[in-house]
Amino acid sequence: MNSEPLLVSYPASAPLRGELRPPGDKSISHRAVIFGALARGVSEIHHLLEGEDVLRTVAAFRAMGVDARRDDAGVWRIAGVGRDGLSEPRDVLDMGNSGTGIRLLTGLLAGQPFFSVLTGDDSLRRRPMGRVVGPLTRMGACILGRDGGRCAPLAVQGKELIGIPYVSPVASAQVKTALLLAGLYAAGETAITEPALSRDHTERMLTAFGGEVGQDGLTVSVRGGIELRGVTMHVPGDISSAAFPMVAALLVPGSEVTLTGVGINPTRTGLLDLLREMGGRIDIGNERLEGGEPVADLTVFHSPLKGIRVPPDVVPRAIDEFPVFALAAACADGETLVTGAEELRVKESDRIAAIAKGLAVQGADIEELPDGMRIRGRPEGLPGGGVADAFQDHRVAMTLMVAGLAARAPVTVTGRANVETSFPGFAARMAGLGARIESHG
């Protein structure tokens, strides 16, 4: 395990200052590649996230006959093959670390007239796939996998599908999108009802590509047979990546950092609400629309934070941000309580356990709960100095690196940090703000 390089993050010796444009949104980038591939005509995608997860999705479509190229200016052109234009991949599709990639493609492939196999890395092969395989099977899909179809590798024999109404027990955009993608190839209507609204990028993007999506409260629906048209699209900056410099600026005394072009879709801004409620000063300016999504520049100032009780209804709107939120809470004055967040246990790692262990090693007072955590803040800051395992989880690794910037002694991260999954060049980009994060070994 320790043959992997160690990452070391050093306490900031000066305030963090400057501007950072976060990389393209991961969720939106996956969807831009998928809908670009299925549309008729060429789609031109600007600011696509070139992280490993999205590049796996690009590779999967190339393996199904789609021409996707990046020009020297970083613009991607995807030559869409039309709704019936994909061809059978000759090899296993390896989705790497990406839950979004594997679940969305399982939905899409269920209705294709060919056979395919999807797999991923150790972390992905441990994650639950039954949540998509179950409802897809009810639509007529033929999917086999390990553990009775609950884990990858998944073998998909494409079938004629029938639209169903499905009431999902989890607020999951991956489940919703997998079923909507299958629904594009199913007879009749496919309708998904969620317990709370999960991110709605698929609905927005399907509309931008000329598709029709029905929306009625927490139910979204599509009809089979829709043809999509290629578009030009600008991917907003990922608020889930912006979260790391955001919390770093809040915690390092004297800091003022502007994050430009950040997506502020209301289904994604839970962290902003929580940090502001804790007393964080985050100014929102220059609001605009890009690719059907709201975008803004966020200026973040160092602020003393106080502990809060996280309302469970905010959880789906901040689900990917809890690792770094836990760090903010660990440095706040008073207690913070997170509940209703059991989904964190089935992310790239068990994020409740991984973050509780990782931050405790740096001196945080943090208690695991079955569905969240109780954090007693240390407003004087964390001692740091510990060596913590990232458990192959990019967001755990980046949280620990931000912890190092705000701690009194360096923080070391082991265990396949996988940072390139979502934030290529994280250390160098943070260095532009004055941070020091190094890779050793």
CA–CA separation, 99 vs 96, rounded Å?
9
Asked if 293 and 236 count as a contact pair (C-beta separation under 8 A), the reply is yes
**Which structure tokens are listed for 271?**
């962290």
Closest CB to ligand S3P among 116 and 172? Answer: 172
Closest CB to ligand S3P among 256 and 290? Answer: 290
Indicate if 147 belongs to the active site. Answer: no
Residues in region 83-102 near ligand S3P by CB under 6 A: 100
Question: What's the closest the beta carbon of residue 171 comes to ligand S3P, in angstroms?
Answer: 7
The packing angle between helices 239-251 and 394-406, to 10°, is 20
Closest CB to ligand S3P among 50 and 343? Answer: 343
Three-state DSSP class for residue 104: helix
Closest CB to ligand S3P among 297 and 321? Answer: 321
Closest to 230 in 3D by CA, of 66, 400, 59, 115: 66
Question: Which one among 168, 174, 221, 303 touches ligand S3P, defined by CB under 6 A?
Answer: 174
Told to check if 172 binds ligand S3P by CB under 6 A, we report yes
Told to check if 168 binds ligand S3P by CB under 6 A, we report no
Q: Which stretch binds ligand S3P (CB under 6 A): 151-159, 166-174, 361-369, 423-431?
A: 166-174
Strand partners, 282: 300
Question: What's the closest the beta carbon of residue 322 comes to ligand S3P, in angstroms?
Answer: 10
Told to check if 200 binds ligand S3P by CB under 6 A, we report no
Told to check if 106 binds ligand S3P by CB under 6 A, we report no
Told to check if 241 binds ligand S3P by CB under 6 A, we report no
Question: What's the closest the beta carbon of residue 296 comes to ligand S3P, in angstroms?
Answer: 20
Contact string 331-350 vs ligand S3P (x = CB under 6 A): ------------x-------
Three-state DSSP class for residue 166: strand
Q: Which stretch binds ligand S3P (CB under 6 A): 115-123, 171-179, 265-273, 279-287?
A: 171-179
Q: What is the phi/psi pair of residue 223, to 5°?
A: -115, 145
Strand partners, 281: 301
Q: Is the peptide bond before 383 cis (omega within 30 degrees of 0)?
A: no
DSSP state of 159: -
Q: Which of 53, 238, 320, 393 is catalytic?
A: 320
Closest CB to ligand S3P among 123 and 177? Answer: 177
User: Other C-beta atoms within 10 Å of 73: how many?
Assistant: 6
Angle 394-320-437 from CA coordinates, rounded to 5°: 35
Residues in region 376-415 near ligand S3P by CB under 6 A: none
Closest to 376 in 3D by CA, of 388, 366, 385: 366
Alpha helix positions (H), 98-170: 99-109, 122-126, 130-138, 146-149
Strand partners, 414: 389
Question: Which one among 177, 255, 265, 414 touches ligand S3P, defined by CB under 6 A?
Answer: 177
Closest CB to ligand S3P among 121 and 297? Answer: 121
Question: Which one among 22, 23, 27, 223 touches ligand S3P, defined by CB under 6 A?
Answer: 27
CA–CA separation, 87 vs 62, rounded Å?
10
Asked if 427 and 439 count as a contact pair (C-beta separation under 8 A), the reply is yes
Question: Which one among 52, 293, 297, 320 touches ligand S3P, defined by CB under 6 A?
Answer: 320
Closest CB to ligand S3P among 203 and 297? Answer: 203
Residues whose CB is less than 8 angstroms from the CB of residue 117 and which lie 6 or more positions away in sequence, other chains included: 92, 93, 153, 154, 155, 156
Told to check if 319 binds ligand S3P by CB under 6 A, we report yes
- Containing H/E element for 296? strand 293-301
Distances in Å between the Cα of 23 and the Cα atoms of 33, 220, 346, 405 are 16, 29, 24, 21
Closest to 182 in 3D by CA, of 70, 104, 129: 104
Closest to 48 in 3D by CA, of 85, 19, 78, 83: 78
Told to check if 25 binds ligand S3P by CB under 6 A, we report no
Dihedral of alpha carbons 355, 356, 360, 364, sign = positive
Q: Which stretch binds ligand S3P (CB under 6 A): 135-143, 144-152, 173-181, 225-233?
A: 173-181
Q: Which stretch binds ligand S3P (CB under 6 A): 60-68, 116-124, 168-176, 223-231?
A: 168-176
Question: Which one among 7, 20, 164, 173 touches ligand S3P, defined by CB under 6 A?
Answer: 173
Question: What's the closest the beta carbon of residue 26 comes to ligand S3P, in angstroms?
Answer: 7
Told to check if 57 binds ligand S3P by CB under 6 A, we report no
Question: What's the closest the beta carbon of residue 320 comes to ligand S3P, in angstroms?
Answer: 5
Catalytic positions are: 320
Residues in touch with ligand S3P (CB under 6 A): 27, 100, 172-174, 177, 198-199, 319-320, 343
